[in-house]
């Protein structure tokens, strides 16, 4: 779908990012997220549309979106992500009315059932996103300190031979195909264990398998269950460790080349990435609030921590203080999860019924 058609069929559009959270500064971008209802062929035909994330087309209704980092989602895609309790998606239904550029009665109808999306998945999604942010902070800090000690650090890409690869490593598609096969075996085996089945619904194990090398102590079990040869398991292990090193090398080069100059200046001064740190703190606080039954509160002025998050983003909080705060919040989140009254899963039945109702009425179907 083209931009003009998507914007014409948008039922909800809102300001997001740091300006939504009230932790922005004068140089912060304006970013938006929204929900649209495509035409009938996209629901029952062969055409597919999940989201629009390019706003360079000048033929549009809302010029404010031009060249911004924005997204407008098909209502089906939005509801799917919301049932996963994706932090960047859930907040769209809890925004101050003044932050909506578009809010039709169809958008209002979805907001009416926003509590149906909330579940204990919040613990895994919010803590997972927060962990990803602090992991970036720690990685960038490691690079920063290492680069100061040794400017030639990562000057050359890793050599496959240093990882025991005398022949070519497995191609990415070969590696992913094997890990997909391994995941299917794990999933099939989990049907005999209630605990394993529960974990598979809460944790993205497929993503973890593809993101991190298999632990060396697990390789014998992997070999046994997949009936692989010794040679293949060795090649698998060496390929994964090499590709992880290559990925870090490429990430380091990209970080040095593309990082925002203002953020780089703060990072050099305080020794950590202040933007990722602010995201981590906010996500953990938000996750605790939701688990405690307070709902989703994007506006951090309301919760009283906007000033502290701004201080983190400005590099005014020492690194050790930041890590201590994050550790404290992680413990609070564990406690909130133990005591939460949220249901295990979203109310899929209500969400499905409402989604169908909105689509049918909008399309006069």
8 Å CB contact between 330 and 127:
yes
8 Å CB contact between 58 and 67:
no
3-118+346-363: what CATH class?
alpha beta
Residues shown for the chain = 365
Does residue 43 have a pLDDT over 60? yes
pLDDT confidence bin for 197, thresholds 50/70/90: low
For position 23, what pLDDT does the model report? 96
Q: What percent of the chain has pLDDT over 70?
A: 95
Work out the average pLDDT over 294-310. 97
Work out the average pLDDT over 90-117. 95
Least confident of 12-21, 54-63, 82-91, 135-144: 54-63
Q: What are the domain boundaries of the chain?
A: 3-118+346-363, 154-258
For position 218, what pLDDT does the model report? 87
Work out the average pLDDT over 318-325. 95
Distance CA 266, CA 117 (A): 38
Does residue 350 have a pLDDT over 80? yes
Does residue 207 have a pLDDT over 70? no
Does residue 112 have a pLDDT over 80? yes
Work out the average pLDDT over 332-357. 97
pLDDT confidence bin for 306, thresholds 50/70/90: very high
Least confident of 17-21, 111-115, 140-144, 255-259: 255-259
Does residue 352 have a pLDDT over 90? yes
The residue among 319, 325, 317 whose CA lies nearest residue 285 is 325
pLDDT confidence bin for 166, thresholds 50/70/90: confident
pLDDT digits over 54-74, tens only?
A: 888 888 888 889 888 899 999
pLDDT digits over 172-190, tens only?
A: 899 989 988 888 887 787 7
Could you tell me the maximum CA-CA distance found in the chain, to the nearest angstrom? 66
Arithmetic mean of pLDDT over the chain: 90
Distance CA 126, CA 334 (A): 12
Does residue 297 have a pLDDT over 90? yes
For position 202, what pLDDT does the model report? 55
Up-side HSE of residue 319: CA atoms within 13 Å toward CB?
14
DSSP state of 169: P
Work out the average pLDDT over 286-292. 98
Phi-psi region of 291 (alpha: psi -120 to 50; beta: other; left: phi over 0): alpha
Neighbours of 276 (CB within 10 A): 22
For position 345, what pLDDT does the model report? 94
Distance CA 64, CA 66 (A): 6
pLDDT confidence bin for 203, thresholds 50/70/90: low
């Amino acid at each position: 779908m083209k931009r003009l058609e998507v914007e014409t069929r948008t039922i909800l559009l809102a300001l997001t990012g740091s300006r939504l959270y009230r932790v922005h500064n004068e140089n912060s971008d304006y970013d938006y997220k929204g929900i649209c209802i495509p035409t009938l062929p996209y629901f029952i035909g062969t055409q597919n549309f999940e989201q629009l994330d390019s706003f360079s087309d000048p033929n549009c209704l809302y010029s404010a979106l031009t060249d911004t980092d924005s997204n407008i989602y098909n209502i089906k895609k939005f509801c799917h992500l919301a049932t996963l309790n994706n932090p960047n998606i859930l907040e769209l239904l809890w925004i101050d009315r003044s932050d909506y550029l578009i809010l039709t009665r169809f958008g209002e109808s979805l907001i009416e059932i926003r509590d149906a999306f909330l579940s204990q998945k919040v613990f895994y999604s919010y803590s997972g996103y927060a962990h990803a942010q602090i992991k970036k902070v720690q990685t960038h800090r490691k690079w920063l300190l290492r680069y100061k000690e040794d400017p030639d650090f990562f000057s050359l890409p890793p050599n496959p031979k240093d990882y025991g690869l005398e022949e070519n490593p497995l191609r990415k598609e070969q590696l992913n195909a094997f890990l997909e096969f391994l995941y299917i075996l794990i999933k099939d085996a989990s049907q005999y264990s209630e605990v394993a089945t529960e974990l598979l619904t809460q944790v993205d194990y497929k993503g973890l398998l593809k993101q991190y090398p298999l632990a060396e102590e697990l390789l014998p079990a992997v070999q046994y269950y997949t009936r692989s040869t010794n040679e293949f398991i060795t090649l698998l292990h060496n390929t994964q460790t090499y590709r992880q090193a290559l990925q870090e090398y490429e990430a380091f080069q990209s970080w040095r080349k593309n990082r925002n100059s203002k953020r780089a200046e703060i990072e050099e001064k305080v020794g950590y990435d202040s933007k990722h740190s602010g995201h981590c703190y906010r996500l953990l606080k938000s996750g605790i609030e939701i688990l405690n039954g307070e709902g989703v509160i994007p506006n951090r002025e309301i919760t009283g921590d906007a000033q502290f998050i701004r201080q983190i983003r400005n590099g005014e909080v020492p690194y050790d203080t930041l890590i201590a705060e994050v550790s404290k919040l992680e413990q609070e989140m564990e406690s909130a999860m133990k005591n939460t009254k949220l249901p295990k899963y979203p109310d899929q039945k209500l969400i499905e019924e409402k989604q169908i109702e909105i689509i049918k009425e909008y399309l006069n179907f």
